[in-house]
Amino acid sequence: MTFAFALAATNGAARAGTLLTAHGPIETPVFMPVGTAGTVKAMTADAVRATGAAIVLGNTYHLMLRPGAERVAALGGLHRFTDWPGPILTDSGGFQVMSLAKLRKIDADGVTFQSHIDGSRHRLTPARSIQIQHLLDATITMALDECTPFPATHEQARASLDLTTRWAALSPAAFVPRPGYGLFGIVQGSTYPDLRAGHAAALAAIGFDGYAIGGLAVGEGQPAMFAAIEATVPHLPADRPRYLMGVGTPDDLLGAVARGIDMFDCVIPTRGGRTARAFTSWGVANLRNARFAGDARPLDPGCRCPACTRHTRAYLHHLFRAGEMLGPMLLTWHNLTYYQDLMRGLRAAIVQRRLHAHIEAVRAGWAACGEIA
Amino acid sequence: MTFAFALAATNGAARAGTLLTAHGPIETPVFMPVGTAGTVKAMTADAVRATGAAIVLGNTYHLMLRPGAERVAALGGLHRFTDWPGPILTDSGGFQVMSLAKLRKIDADGVTFQSHIDGSRHRLTPARSIQIQHLLDATITMALDECTPFPATHEQARASLDLTTRWAALSPAAFVPRPGYGLFGIVQGSTYPDLRAGHAAALAAIGFDGYAIGGLAVGEGQPAMFAAIEATVPHLPADRPRYLMGVGTPDDLLGAVARGIDMFDCVIPTRGGRTARAFTSWGVANLRNARFAGDARPLDPGCRCPACTRHTRAYLHHLFRAGEMLGPMLLTWHNLTYYQDLMRGLRAAIVQRRLHAHIEAVRAGWAACGEIA
């Protein structure tokens, strides 16, 4: 079993492919639900499977603090722990150390920080991050990076990127190769095209099983994000998967797939599911809105999820107004189903070489009655 | 389709029966999960079905305030609204008006109160309570009662009971008979055997499709509760189901079934599911306890629920420690499965006339390693 990526079709810059892993195949473009602390929030593993998800995320930062990587390993790894035998990608911890940890201190060899849970002191180095991900039994391991803050001057972005390159260069040696397991590097460079291009080339020279684009969707806006993708993609090996980290809205996914991205993760559908924000074929809507109180229609008439096939908009509205957990449960299930079906539609359109027309049709649907997002 | 109750077997005072309703049959003794506001908390309807539940509860008080009985009726009734085509019992609102509403004022004809949600003014009378339950399309309608507070003097309990009798007498005329639908009266009388006996006889004289015992599990303790049941049951018609409201712990269920009770509802398994309190064949335990942090065993090895067949105690512990919704979701699923299987075991033992030995065996299991409850 190799960690192989095969392209099935291209349409402009967009690609449809298949990634073969030790834990099963992944058809791309793919959206990966976020399972930060060993669970996709408000979803059983069976429910995640029912949405059609092929791979889920786990978080090195959260899991190393609680329940601990060694504990997860003793319990048989993250697949058994979470009832998810399929592929799992774990992030390196770099992003969460920057956004969540207290008193973090970065040096040339790694980062020392205090847990946001109990204040305990921890250290992550490129080797320790990879070791933790090995203990978790991650199918796809991410090399430790420094997620460059936004905004950053060219000089700041350059310095940050150099640290990530240094850490990336140490990563392949720390990774224990196993058939069907892969190691990805993370391209930084903020919104500077020259830095993005240069860093992509630098990582490609090191050689990874896949390449992520990090440090985007952090406030730069969609046009700047798309520009950064366009500056990066041509410098990545065409025969390796490309993963845009932490993105995004449905419209972000359309634009990024059209620009050659194969993989995505984002909390938007799951967080939205807990805050009554529904993503549908007719647009985005907040189910707490009074206009849904008596609405006997299914949330999204064409959707196959239980929220849509079993219930009315009025019921979902009621659940959120009453503060019932079933509201987040059903809407998370719907949103993830919508994201999966959106990606499946994009893949089919790429294979049939009609991506542009398909994207126009999806956008026309969104304009029908919801807010635009 | 009649609302028929047939006894399949008896064992001492205990009974195994079948209740035929417009929405399906119910084998007794039966435990009814509580779906206060149109959802069994933390459970999809599919999950409730998977536990083996045959009937669920809804609450007149909560549903009249939000989303409103007329709205539920316009949306096709509570069965369609909640994706539960099976039998539904709704309580009368009496208990919740006493425990939740603000500024309640009882008079001879009903009760006026303010909503705990928005302070709006509402009135419940015996006829309006039954009308609301009709709008909800309840399979089993409860007559409005005054739930006597505990403790109460004999005089207070008598006065309260007289009001309930007065309201009960008005109820059959307000109930629209439909094939397979039933109306239950509620016996009060606090912990006074003479009042319980007299009230049971008074309600039997009015004539209902079933008889509930209310006003227990309110602080009187298990011995007093069992004594009140023993004082009541002989005065209820043997050919009608007997429903002990708001009870109880697994041990309460054993004792009450042995004393001739057929139906139960209680928030204990669902509330416990949200607060890490696990009910198992080896006893009761709090899953937040550190002793479970590395426990690789299933929660209850013989249990068929997803929490037990797919996960470890260590994973459930982790979910509760991390504040993840999946903890309450999985443990509610387990607790309700445990309650259903407990009732199923009691029924089988009654049919085989070995209830006493079965109860001893269940209790011996609980003494094995958990706390006793």
CA distance A63 to chain B (A): 10
Residue B328 near chain A (CB below 8 Å): yes
Lowest mean pLDDT among A48-52, A146-150, B167-171, B317-321: A146-150
Does the distance separating the beta carbons of A296 and B75 come in below 8 Å? yes
Instruction: Report yes or no: B280 and B306 within 8 Å, Cβ to Cβ.
Output: no
CA distance A358 to chain B (A): 34
Question: Within 10 Å of residue A224's Cβ, how many Cβ atoms?
Answer: 14
Does the distance separating the beta carbons of A39 and B326 come in below 8 Å? yes
3-state SS string over B14-61? EEEEEEEECCEEEEECEEECECCCCCCCCCCHHHHHHHCCCCEEEEHH
Q: For residues B59 and B37, what is the distance between their CA atoms, to the nearest angstrom?
A: 6
Does the distance separating the beta carbons of A44 and B314 come in below 8 Å? no
Answer yes or no: A265 catalytic.
yes
* Cα-only R_g, chain A: 20
In the sheet that holds A24-28, the strands lie side by side as: A4-11, A14-21, A24-28
Residue A315 near chain B (CB below 8 Å): yes
- Res B112 pLDDT > 60: yes
Does the distance separating the beta carbons of B76 and A46 come in below 8 Å? no
Position B1 scores a pLDDT of: 58
Is pTM beyond 0.90? Reply is yes
Which of B38, B44, B319 lies at the smallest CB-CB distance from A39? B319
Q: How confident is the model at residue A373 (pLDDT cuts 50, 70, 90)?
A: very low
| Angle value at C-alpha B211, between B155 and B221, nearest 5 degrees | 55
Position A368 scores a pLDDT of: 78
Answer yes or no: A239 catalytic.
no
Does the distance separating the beta carbons of A293 and B71 come in below 8 Å? yes
- Res B189 pLDDT > 90: yes
Average pLDDT, chain B: 96
| Angle value at C-alpha B186, between B185 and B188, nearest 5 degrees | 145
B149-161 pLDDT, tens digit per residue, is 999 999 999 999 9
Instruction: Report yes or no: A89 and A139 within 8 Å, Cβ to Cβ.
Output: yes
| Dihedral over Cα of B219, B225, B228, B233: its sign | positive
Does the distance separating the beta carbons of A83 and B318 come in below 8 Å? no
* Residue of chain B nearest A298, judged by CA positions: B81
A27-79 pLDDT, tens digit per residue, is 999 999 999 999 999 999 999 999 999 999 999 999 999 999 999 999 999 99
B267-285 pLDDT, tens digit per residue, is 999 999 999 999 999 999 9
Burial category of A368 from C-beta neighbours within 10 Å (exposed 0-12, middle 13-18, buried 19 and up): exposed
Which of B75, B296, B321 lies at the smallest CB-CB distance from A75? B296
Residue closest to A65 by CA, chosen among A130, A120, A134: A120
A78-108 pLDDT, tens digit per residue, is 999 999 999 999 999 989 988 888 889 999 9
- Res A265 pLDDT > 60: yes
- Residue A7: strand, helix, or coil: strand
Q: For residues A357 and A363, what is the distance between their CA atoms, to the nearest angstrom?
A: 10
Average pLDDT, chain A: 96
**Strand A210-213, strand A242-244: pairing:** parallel
Residue A310 near chain B (CB below 8 Å): yes
Give the tokens for residue A112: 């020392």
Which of A66, A318, A324 lies at the smallest CB-CB distance from B321? A66
Q: How confident is the model at residue B373 (pLDDT cuts 50, 70, 90)?
A: very low
Q: How confident is the model at residue A370 (pLDDT cuts 50, 70, 90)?
A: low
Residue B136 near chain A (CB below 8 Å): no
B48-57 pLDDT, tens digit per residue, is 999 999 999 9
Residue B45 near chain A (CB below 8 Å): yes
DSSP state of A335: H
* Residue of chain B nearest A85, judged by CA positions: B310
Share of chain B above pLDDT 90, in %: 95
Among B91, B137, B209, B252, which one carries the catalytic annotation?
B91
DSSP state of A292: G
Instruction: Report yes or no: A22 and A88 within 8 Å, Cβ to Cβ.
Output: no
Burial category of B164 from C-beta neighbours within 10 Å (exposed 0-12, middle 13-18, buried 19 and up): buried
